[in-house]
């Protein structure tokens, strides 16, 4: 989360927070599909309230309400818990943290391109090297379906297409013919979209004369050109016309992100462009684009790929304590290290060195500082490298510098 | 919050988070004083749950439950919302954020001293210069009351003492005599504790022969010695034997922190030592010490003292956009700045410069980068200083370096 915050901020996204509780009517929206959302809903006094089940509805409410203050483009990130009354299972909890970022109030493709850059830089900052951001644009699909006169059947078409991996091409074609009323030729053309080797040129040919579809192609073309110039390695971004991500919400660019070393875990960062964020709350049209980092999946992946440190302390240096009368000196050295940006903890009790080093090992400290009466008498400190067990004796004047060098190794 | 996290981590405190919802019986504890806590309580399925009303009860539950994993000393910070069904008013909300840090599992005075150091460094990091951390030790009060044979009446004594500022010394003495059954001489001796000029030496004399009280004096003496050695300016810490902070919870050192420029706002960081954190949840005795930063008060104070930046963006640099075909170049420069730790935002739309600079002003960007066809043709960028309106033209090779220099001013 610290890394995500840092990357979001580096792109100019500001943090927002909204209350955990919203009026229930805000969360249920127009529809009566409350049970789908598995709301935690209750009366607080005479208020009918519920705990937010995602960060999107609160964002819509917040943006509509504070539009005059925040203005557009409005770039925000929000990392916060949401609640759903689900049955818990491995990787699914009733309370879990969502991590969203969005750019609201612009139709510009620049925001779509930047969204991809943020996803890319975020994964690199987290320590991933092998990953693919798959991109699509819903306009392409709409264009193809519209050319085939199947736009009204898009739900059924996509439902069939989604089964491709499971039931194979022929069965998908059969389903489109039977249930959607497509001809076999139409079905085969739709199936072409799932061809992993399809190119933007081929799509452009397929979509000739269809303005909407061609807009999708040209926006993706611009995206690929811009990210290459911006320095994103080509192998980390791939066209995938088969991804759709929810039929009603996304209307333009779509992103899904898969780990090269762990594709089976699914997309760890997904999102897309939408036409209107807050239609329920304001008449002002608010187009936007954003993505959501799947923290639970991500953590599972980082654990499996050993990208999570074993440190259980945010401090690399433990200052052991030998002589209670010297507490001020231990604390003074701690502050001297912190002043140079080195996190340091002073062990609170005067215990046997073995006990203190055992604590240091368990927590994953890198260095331990040791000073008793001999050291104080001569103005030196012992530095014990907990990685290789080596010790050295250093004058206090050189202590901070030496520790900086040791930690940079 | 970012600053608080950084300071807590620099002292080796680790973040924890606990669920917003706990089983109601955890939060109500033994007593039936649920209404005091103004719980948001409801049924979720067949579970009787409630939203946490503070971070202390969840910490106690968490520590008791995970003691074998976290071990002691256990240093944690927790910045998270809590909920209380109060009537809202200025500065009082039903959802508000608490910001706590604690060291658990040690009786050592080193942890008490460190707690004071954290409070000090935190306020300095937030930009405060004039503040006083007032310290006391509950043992001193207990010692004085015990010497006067009033220990059993401590609640009544303190209730009277608390009114000193409001009703004056004579009325306090009268109340102690009438309601607590103290003699006038006893009452006058208790009143001596509220003397702002009292010294540890005087307290030592007062407490002669009383072991508990003298332990309180010696721990405070050790604290003042250690913080002086550790480099804390003497004027920022003061003995104040009159502070008590809740009768039943704190048992040792007590902290309250007042701003020199805004004392009327009350204590902005308070805490103390307690004997046993989690008696309700484990038989293991868990002594500890910690403090809580009052975020709402703190923000009000920072706003009043103009310590809050006017920036509404975490990025100092806005890269304006002139030529959509050059999007990749704008994004590339953005990434080059970020690689050097400079947050930068690319304006998403190709709009008139005036519009883009208006956005930059409103959000508080410090510098705007400008490049159109002329600049791209000659490989230069314009940097506009939004503070003084000055512009300069810089070759792309020198761009990052120049921006670093401008931002460091």
Query: Is B313–A343 a contact, with Cβ atoms under 8 angstroms apart?
Result: no
Query: Is B117–A350 a contact, with Cβ atoms under 8 angstroms apart?
Result: no
The answer to whether residue A68 sits within a structural domain is yes
Query: Is A73–B114 a contact, with Cβ atoms under 8 angstroms apart?
Result: no
Taking a C-beta distance cutoff of 8 angstroms, is the pair B64, B278 a contact? yes
**Strand (E) or helix (H) holding A96:** strand A95-104
Which of A12, A229, A315 shows the shortest C-beta gap to B315? A12
- B284 and B375 part of one domain: no
Which of A14, A314, A324 shows the shortest C-beta gap to B14? A314
CA pair distance B366, B309, nearest whole angstrom: 12
Query: Is B328–A225 a contact, with Cβ atoms under 8 angstroms apart?
Result: yes
CA pair distance A245, A255, nearest whole angstrom: 9
**Which residues lie closer than 8 Å to B13 by C-beta, 6 or more apart?**
A314, B75, B76, B77, B101, B103, B118
| Interface probe with B: pick from A226, A289, A319, most Cβ of B within 10 Å | A226
What's the CA angle centered on A213, arms A212 and A214, to 5 degrees? 90
CA pair distance A151, A408, nearest whole angstrom: 59
Domain total of chain A: 2
Query: Is A9–B314 a contact, with Cβ atoms under 8 angstroms apart?
Result: yes
The answer to whether residue A310 sits within a structural domain is no
- A321 and A291 part of one domain: no
- A225 and A371 part of one domain: no
The answer to whether residue A112 sits within a structural domain is yes
Please say which residue of A304, A329, A358 terminates a domain.
Answer: A304
The answer to whether residue B312 sits within a structural domain is no
Residue B33, pLDDT score: 59
**Which residues lie closer than 8 Å to A211 by C-beta, 6 or more apart?**
none
Please say which residue of B304, B331, B347 terminates a domain.
Answer: B304
- B330 and B300 part of one domain: no
Query: Is B349–A14 a contact, with Cβ atoms under 8 angstroms apart?
Result: no
- Tens digit of pLDDT at every position of chain B (409 positions): 989 999 999 999 999 999 999 999 999 876 555 566 689 999 988 899 999 999 999 999 999 999 999 999 999 999 999 999 888 777 778 999 999 999 999 999 999 999 999 999 999 999 999 999 999 999 999 999 999 999 888 888 888 888 888 899 999 999 999 998 999 999 999 888 888 899 999 999 999 999 999 999 999 999 999 999 999 999 999 999 988 766 568 899 999 999 999 999 999 999 999 999 988 899 999 999 999 999 988 998 999 998 887 778 899 999 999 999 999 999 999 999 999 999 999 999 999 999 999 999 999 999 999 999 999 999 999 999 999 999 999 999 999 999 999 999 8
CA pair distance A125, A6, nearest whole angstrom: 9
Which CATH number fits the domain that encloses residue A371? 3.40.50.800
CA distance A209 to chain B (A): 24
The answer to whether residue A312 sits within a structural domain is no
- A355 and A277 part of one domain: no
Which CATH number fits the domain that encloses residue A49? 3.30.930.10
Q: In what order do the strands lie in the sheet with B344-346?
A: B344-346, B317-319, B367-370, B380-385, B391-395
The answer to whether residue A6 sits within a structural domain is yes
Among A350, A349, A409, residue whose Cα is nearest residue A385: A409
| Residue A191, token pair as written in the block | 């199936």
Chain B positions touching A225 (Cβ under 8 A) are 328
- A277 and A339 part of one domain: no
Please say which residue of A273, A304, A335 terminates a domain.
Answer: A304
- B349 and B388 part of one domain: yes
Residue B211, pLDDT score: 96
The answer to whether residue B115 sits within a structural domain is yes
Q: Which domain holds residue A367?
A: 317-408
- A323 and A369 part of one domain: yes
Instruction: Judge whether residue A247 has pLDDT over 70.
Output: no
CA distance A83 to chain B (A): 9
Taking a C-beta distance cutoff of 8 angstroms, is the pair A331, B117 a contact? yes
The answer to whether residue B253 sits within a structural domain is yes
- A296 and A340 part of one domain: no
For residue range B327-380, what is the model confidence (pLDDT) as tens digits?
999 999 999 999 999 999 999 999 999 999 999 999 999 999 999 999 999 999
CA distance A172 to chain B (A): 39
Residues A389-392: contacts with CB within 8 Å, 24+ apart?
none
- A289 and A345 part of one domain: no
Which of B51, B321, B332 shows the shortest C-beta gap to A231? B332
- A212 and A136 part of one domain: yes
CA pair distance A392, A406, nearest whole angstrom: 11
Residue for token digits 């950084």?
B6
pTM: 0.89
- A282 and A343 part of one domain: no
- How many CB pairs below 8 A link A and B? 195
């Amino acid at each position: 989360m610290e890394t995500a915050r840092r990357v979001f901020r580096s792109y100019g996204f500001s943090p927002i927070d909204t209350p955990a509780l919203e009026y229930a009517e805000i969360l249920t929206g127009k529809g009566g599909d409350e049970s789908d959302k598995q709301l935690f809903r209750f009366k607080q006094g005479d208020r009918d309230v519920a705990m937010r089940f995602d960060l999107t509805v609160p964002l819509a409410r917040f943006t509509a309400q504070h539009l005059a203050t925040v203005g557009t483009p409005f770039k925000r990130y929000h990392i916060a818990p949401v609640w759903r009354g689900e049955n818990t299972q491995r990787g699914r909890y009733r309370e879990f943290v969502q991590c969203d970022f969005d750019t609201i109030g612009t139709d510009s493709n620049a925001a779509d391109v930047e969204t991809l850059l943020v996803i890319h830089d975020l994964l690199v900052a987290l320590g991933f090297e092998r990953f693919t951001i798959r991109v699509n644009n819903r306009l392409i699909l709409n264009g193809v379906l519209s050319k085939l006169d199947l736009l009204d059947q898009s739900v059924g078409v996509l439902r069939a297409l989604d089964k491709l991996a499971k039931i194979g091409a022929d069965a998908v074609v059969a389903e489109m013919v039977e249930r959607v009323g497509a001809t076999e030729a139409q079905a085969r053309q739709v199936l072409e979209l799932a061809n992993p080797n399809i190119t933007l040129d081929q799509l452009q040919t397929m979509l000739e004369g269809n303005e909407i579809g061609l807009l999708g192609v040209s926006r993706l073309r611009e995206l690929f050109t811009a990210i290459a110039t911006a320095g994103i390695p080509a192998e980390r971004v791939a066209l995938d016309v088969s991804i759709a991500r929810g039929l009603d919400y996304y209307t333009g660019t779509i992103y899904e992100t898969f780990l090269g070393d762990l594709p089976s875990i699914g997309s760890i960062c997904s999102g897309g462009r939408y036409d209107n964020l807050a239609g329920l709350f304001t008449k002002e049209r608010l187009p936007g684009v954003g993505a959501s980092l799947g923290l639970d999946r991500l953590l599972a992946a980082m654990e499996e790929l050993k990208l999570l440190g074993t440190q259980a302390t945010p401090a690399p240096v433990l200052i052991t304590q030998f002589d209670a009368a010297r507490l001020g000196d231990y604390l003074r050295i701690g502050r001297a290290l912190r002043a140079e940006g080195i996190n340091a903890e002073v062990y609170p009790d005067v215990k046997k060195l073995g006990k203190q080093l055992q604590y240091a090992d368990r927590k994953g400290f890198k260095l331990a500082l040791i000073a008793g009466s001999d050291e104080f008498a001569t103005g030196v400190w012992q530095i014990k490298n907990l990685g290789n067990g080596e010790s050295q004796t250093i004058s206090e004047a050189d202590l901070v510098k030496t520790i900086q060098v040791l930690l940079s190794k």
